[in-house]
A and B are shown apart, each in its own frame.
Chain A
Amino acid sequence: MSAINLDFKQSFFQLFGLAQSFELNLLLLEQRYRALQLQVHPDQAAHLMDTQQRIALQQATFVNEAYQTLRSPLRRARYLLKLNDVDTQEETNTAMPLDFLMAQMDWREAVIEAQQQRDVTALDNLSAQMQSETRELETQVAAKIDGEKDYLAAAELVRKLRFMEKLAEEIHAAYDEIDN
Chain B
Amino acid sequence: MALLQISEPGMSTAPHQHRLAVGIDLGTTNSLVATVRNGTSAVLNDAQGRAMLPSVVRYVDAQQILVGEIAQRNQNDDPINTISSVKRFMGRGLSDLGDTSRFPYRFMTDANTQTVQLRTAAGVKSPVEVSAEILKVLRTRAELSLGGELVGAVITVPAYFDDAQRQATKDAARLAGLNVLRLLNEPTAAAIAYGLDNGAEGVYAVYDLGGGTFDISILRLSRGVFEVLATNGDSVLGGDDFDQRIFCWLLEQNSLQALPASDMRLLLTHARTAKEQLTEHNEARITAMLSDGRVIDSVLSQAQFHEMSNNLLQRTLQPLRRALRDAGLKVADINGVVMVGGATRMPQVQRAVGEFFAQTPLTNLDPDKVVALGAAIQANLLAGNRGADDWLLLDVIPLSLGLETMGGLAEKVIPRNSTIPTARAQEFTTYKDGQTAMSIHVVQGERELISDCRSLAKFELRGIPAMAAGAARIRVTFQVDADGLLSVAAREMGSGVEATIEVKPSYGLSDGEITRMLQESGQYAKEDMQARALRELQTEANQLLDAVQNALMQDGDLLSAAQHADISAQLNNLQSSLQDSDTQVLKRAITALNDVTVNFAQARMDKSVASALAGKKISDLEI
> Which chain A residues have a beta carbon within 8 Å of chain B's beta carbons?
1, 34, 37-38, 41-43, 46-49, 52, 57, 60-61, 64-65, 67-68, 172, 175-176, 179-180
Which residues on the B side are within 8 Å of A57 (C-beta)? Answer: 421, 479, 481-482
In the bound assembly, the distance between CA atoms of A41 and B482 in angstroms comes to 9
Does the CB pair B10–A49 fall under 8 Å? Answer: yes
B394 — nearest CB in chain A belongs to which residue? A37
Does the CB pair B8–A48 fall under 8 Å? Answer: yes
Interface residues of B toward A: which range? 20 to 34
| Residue-wise interface mask of B (126-169) relative to A, using a CB-CB cutoff of 8 A (1 in contact, 0 not) | 00000000000000000000000001100000000000000000
Which residues on the A side are within 8 Å of B181 (C-beta)? Answer: 46-47
Q: How far is the CB of B61 from chain A (nearest CB, A)?
A: 40
Cβ of B390 under 8 Å from chain A: yes
Cβ of B436 under 8 Å from chain A: no
28 residue pairs from A and B, CB less than 8 Å apart? A41-B394, A42-B481, A42-B482, A43-B182, A43-B381, A43-B482, A46-B182, A46-B382, A46-B383, A47-B152, A47-B384, A48-B9, A48-B10, A49-B10, A52-B9, A57-B421, A57-B482, A60-B421, A60-B482, A61-B479, A64-B418, A65-B423, A67-B419, A68-B418, A68-B419, A176-B322, A179-B318, A179-B322
Q: How far is the CB of A165 from chain B (nearest CB, A)?
A: 12
Which residues on the B side are within 8 Å of A42 (C-beta)? Answer: 421, 481-482
Does the CB pair B225–A34 fall under 8 Å? Answer: yes
Does the CB pair B382–A43 fall under 8 Å? Answer: yes
Does the CB pair A65–B9 fall under 8 Å? Answer: no
Q: How far is the CB of B6 from chain A (nearest CB, A)?
A: 10
Q: How far is the CB of A171 from chain B (nearest CB, A)?
A: 10
Does the CB pair B382–A49 fall under 8 Å? Answer: no
B481 — nearest CB in chain A belongs to which residue? A57
Cβ of B279 under 8 Å from chain A: no
Cβ of B497 under 8 Å from chain A: no
Which residues on the A side are within 8 Å of B225 (C-beta)? Answer: 34
Which residues on the A side are within 8 Å of B419 (C-beta)? Answer: 64, 67-68
B480 — nearest CB in chain A belongs to which residue? A61
Does the CB pair B394–A47 fall under 8 Å? Answer: no
Cβ of B119 under 8 Å from chain A: no
Q: How far is the CB of A138 from chain B (nearest CB, A)?
A: 16
Does the CB pair A48–B182 fall under 8 Å? Answer: no
In the bound assembly, the distance between CA atoms of A175 and B381 in angstroms comes to 40
Which of B10, B11, B225, B420 neighbours the largest number of chain A CB atoms within 10 Å of its CB? B10
Which residues on the B side are within 8 Å of A52 (C-beta)? Answer: 9-10
Does the CB pair B325–A172 fall under 8 Å? Answer: yes
B422 contact from A38, A65, A175, Cβ within 8 A: A65
Which residues on the B side are within 8 Å of A47 (C-beta)? Answer: 10-11, 19, 151-152, 181, 382-384
Cβ of B358 under 8 Å from chain A: no
In the bound assembly, the distance between CA atoms of A46 and B378 in angstroms comes to 11
Does the CB pair A61–B392 fall under 8 Å? Answer: no
In the bound assembly, the distance between CA atoms of A35 and B9 in angstroms comes to 23
Which residues on the A side are within 8 Å of B418 (C-beta)? Answer: 64, 68
Cβ of B617 under 8 Å from chain A: no
Does the CB pair A43–B481 fall under 8 Å? Answer: no
In the bound assembly, the distance between CA atoms of A118 and B8 in angstroms comes to 59
Which residues on the B side are within 8 Å of A68 (C-beta)? Answer: 418-419
Q: How far is the CB of B231 from chain A (nearest CB, A)?
A: 15
Q: How far is the CB of B311 from chain A (nearest CB, A)?
A: 14
Cβ of B306 under 8 Å from chain A: no
In the bound assembly, the distance between CA atoms of A1 and B386 in angstroms comes to 11
A61 contact from B152, B378, B423, Cβ within 8 A: B423
Cβ of B454 under 8 Å from chain A: no
Which residues on the A side are within 8 Å of B182 (C-beta)? Answer: 43, 46
Which residues on the A side are within 8 Å of B393 (C-beta)? Answer: 41, 43
Which 8 pairs from chain A and chain B are nearest by CB?
A47-B384, A46-B382, A49-B10, A48-B10, A42-B482, A61-B421, A61-B423, A46-B181
In the bound assembly, the distance between CA atoms of A42 and B381 in angstroms comes to 11
| Residue-wise interface mask of B (394-422) relative to A, using a CB-CB cutoff of 8 A (1 in contact, 0 not) | 10000000000000000000000011111
Which of A47, A48, A65, A180 neighbours the largest number of chain B CB atoms within 10 Å of its CB? A47
Since A38-B392, A43-B182, A61-B421 are in contact, a sample of 19 more A-B pairs with Cβ atoms closer than 8 Å, ordered by chain A residue number, is A41-B393, A42-B421, A43-B381, A43-B382, A43-B393, A46-B182, A46-B382, A46-B384, A47-B10, A47-B11, A47-B152, A47-B382, A48-B8, A48-B9, A48-B384, A61-B423, A61-B479, A175-B321, A176-B322
Which residues on the B side are within 8 Å of A180 (C-beta)? Answer: 318
In the bound assembly, the distance between CA atoms of A57 and B479 in angstroms comes to 9
Which residues on the A side are within 8 Å of B10 (C-beta)? Answer: 47-49, 52
| Residue-wise interface mask of B (73-100) relative to A, using a CB-CB cutoff of 8 A (1 in contact, 0 not) | 0000000000000000000000000000
Which residues on the A side are within 8 Å of B446 (C-beta)? Answer: 176
Which residues on the A side are within 8 Å of B318 (C-beta)? Answer: 179-180
Q: How far is the CB of B60 from chain A (nearest CB, A)?
A: 38
In the bound assembly, the distance between CA atoms of A41 and B422 in angstroms comes to 11
In the bound assembly, the distance between CA atoms of A38 and B152 in angstroms comes to 21
Does the CB pair A64–B325 fall under 8 Å? Answer: no
In the bound assembly, the distance between CA atoms of A65 and B414 in angstroms comes to 12
Interface residues of B in 424-469 (CB under 8 A from A): 446
Which residues on the A side are within 8 Å of B378 (C-beta)? Answer: 43
Which of B19, B181, B384 neighbours the largest number of chain A CB atoms within 10 Å of its CB? B384
In the bound assembly, the distance between CA atoms of A67 and B418 in angstroms comes to 11
Contact status of A1 and B8, CB under 8 A, knowing A47-B382, A65-B422: yes
Which residues on the A side are within 8 Å of B325 (C-beta)? Answer: 172, 175-176
Contact status of A49 and B422, CB under 8 A, knowing A37-B394, A42-B481, A43-B182: no
Which residues on the A side are within 8 Å of B19 (C-beta)? Answer: 47
In the bound assembly, the distance between CA atoms of A64 and B420 in angstroms comes to 8
Which of B225, B321, B418, B421 neighbours the largest number of chain A CB atoms within 10 Å of its CB? B421
Q: How far is the CB of A124 from chain B (nearest CB, A)?
A: 11
Which residues on the B side are within 8 Å of A61 (C-beta)? Answer: 421-423, 479
Contact status of A41 and B392, CB under 8 A, knowing A34-B225, A46-B382: yes
B482 — nearest CB in chain A belongs to which residue? A42
Which residues on the A side are within 8 Å of B482 (C-beta)? Answer: 41-43, 57, 60
Does the CB pair B392–A34 fall under 8 Å? Answer: yes
Which residues on the A side are within 8 Å of B421 (C-beta)? Answer: 42, 57, 60-61, 64
